[in-house]
Amino acid sequence: MELSSPSAKIALAVARRIQAAGHRVVFAGGCVRDFLMKRTPQDFDLATSALPDEVEALFPKTIPVGKQFGVILVVEEGIQVEVTTFRREGSYKDGRHPTEISFTDDREDALRRDFTVNGLFYDPFAGKILDYVQGQADIIKRQIRAIGDPQKRFEEDKLRLLRAVRFAANLGFEIEPATWIALKAQVPAIHQVSPERIRDELIKIFTRPGAARGFDLLSESGLLRAILPEIEAMKGVEQQPDYHPEGDVFIHTRLLLEKLENPTVTLAFAALFHDVAKPVTFARREDGRITFYEHAPIGAEMTRQIMKRLRFSNQEIEDVAVCVDNHMKFGDAAKMRSGKLKQFIAHAQFQEGLELHRIDCLSCHGKLDNYHFLQEKIKVFSEEDLKPKPLVCGDDLIRLGMKPGPAMKPLLEDAYVLQLEGQFASKEAALAWLRGRLPAP
Ligand code: ATP
Ligand code: MG
């Protein structure tokens, strides 16, 4: 395992200090999996025989984030390393939390983890992987498999249903058949997980690579119907075939998710929700054409309700709702008057809205005329912003009574500098300033 990134080096230094105090300590879980797969870990977790008090005593800055479960955050040079005492878990209550834990050895600590690919340890001093759960074999097979009895593991903690989907999507793995059957059987109990935790998993599923696959797995497992019935309702909702050769609203939405690249939370959820009102606004005109009148503003309102239910912040909710509300306007950009267009381009969610428009077009008819038109306009407007037209010119000076001649140039240059500095609210303000500077007749 190559520990060369700054945060890896800090995690290693933390491990050294714990080892020097006479304890066992290993890298644990996701970071070991990521290293074996040659991916960059999100964060580094250490597992140790040291007790939480002993960990705290070794470092100047620690945060007891989950001390009763053995979890201490060590903060070194602004980087956080999670240090967890080897533990086993007692019985579970409420489908999410163990009633009690007790401290134990590394083997039992591996067995309490969720999936085999997440149950690996790396001993940095011996340079050895410790694999009590056949995690390495499952990485090679590219599969997510519960450690031990899958039914029991999902019954204990329902968050693992979403974690299984997330890891399969993000790593591009299959879910092993017995794990998949057990997962599906527990779906009705997903509401034992708090909306906040569901939200956090959904954010990870839709903003990281593999979002479209995550969408498929949520759908096939039944989790989508349980958590986001409004999205499930898109299935089979027909669209006008000339405009939408790809198929129904659900298929269209999936295509957008496929095109996300490192999206913000706003863009990812705007893609997910942009057509959420199509099922409820579906109508067929007398001539047979399919319409979805007002689906954008109605969709924005539905987006607010869904995201509120999932406890997103007010800011996140508004940003996504604005993108949903505006998503049809991008198609009208070429018809907007220039003042309206400038205002539209200046709105805070424009960049994300424009990317949403791009992937929306690519996911149906494929025409990007409006996208290119807007890109061009942004360039023109930003050049105008940097080099706006002068508010006053030579003719204005002559009208104010000045004789044409070389004295005009420095005066106009000064006026332009003040204009660029934003000193003049209007042409009148610039003229008033000039009047005060005119040479005596
Ligand atoms: P990421 O790349 O998102 O950080 P990760 O695998 O590191 O993924 P974390 O949520 O950071 O996942 O958790 C760290 C480790 O703790 C996991 O790899 C797993 O071993 C264990 N773990 C976390 N949550 C659970 C859970 N709900 N049940 C069992 N084990 C868990
Ligand atoms: Mg992690």
Reported as a pLDDT band with limits 50, 70 and 90, residue 4 is: confident
User: Which ligand neighbours the alpha carbon of 169 most closely?
Assistant: 1
User: Can you give the pLDDT at residue 226?
Assistant: 98
What lies within 8 Å, CB to CB, of 97 at 6+ separation is 157
Grade residue 422 by pLDDT with cuts at 50, 70 and 90: confident
Beta bridge partners of 75: 80
Rounded to an integer, the average pLDDT of 358-364 is 97
- Give the mutation target among 71, 94, 114 for probing the ligand 1 site: most ligand atoms within 8 A of CB: 114
How far away, in angstroms, is 82 Cα from ligand 2 center? 9
Check whether 441 has a pLDDT greater than 70: no
Boundaries of CATH 3.30.460.10 in the chain?
6-141
CA of 30 to the centre of ligand 1 (A): 6
pLDDT number for residue 438: 86
Closest-approaching ligand to the CA atom of 170: 1
Residue nearest to atom 16 of ligand 1 (CA): 29
Q: What is the rounded average pLDDT of the residues 208-226?
A: 98
Q: What is the CATH number of domain 6-141?
A: 3.30.460.10
pLDDT (0 to 100) of residue 339: 78
Pocket of ligand 1 (CB under 6 A): 29-30, 42-43, 45, 113-114, 118-119, 157, 159-160
> Is residue 42 scored above 70 in pLDDT?
yes
pLDDT tens, residue by residue, 66-90: 999 999 999 999 999 999 999 999 8
Q: Whose CA is nearest to atom 8 of ligand 1?
A: 30
Whole-angstrom distance, CA of residue 361 vs CA of residue 354: 11
Reported as a single tens digit per residue, the pLDDT across 240-261 is 999 899 999 999 999 999 999 9
For a substitution probing ligand 1, which of 33, 45, 109 has the most ligand atoms within 8 Å of its CB? 45
Sign of CA pseudo-dihedral 139, 140, 141, 142: positive
Return the percentage of the chain with pLDDT > 90, whole number.
86
The vertex-307 CA angle with 305 and 313, nearest 5°, equals 120
- Measured from the Cα of 157, ligand 1's closest atom is 27
pLDDT tens profile 309-333: 999 999 999 999 999 999 999 999 9
How far is Cα 300 from Cα 321, in angstroms, rounded to an integer? 5
What is the 143 CA–ligand 1 centroid distance (Å)?
A: 16
Least confident interval from 149-158, 194-203, 334-343: 334-343
Burial 69-85 (b: 16+ CB within 10 A, else e): ebbbbbebeebbbbbbb
Is residue 107 over pLDDT 80?
Answer: yes
Residue 114 has pLDDT above 90, yes or no: yes
For 357-379, b where at least 16 C-beta lie within 10 A, e where not — what string?
A: bbbbbbbbeeeeebbeebeebee
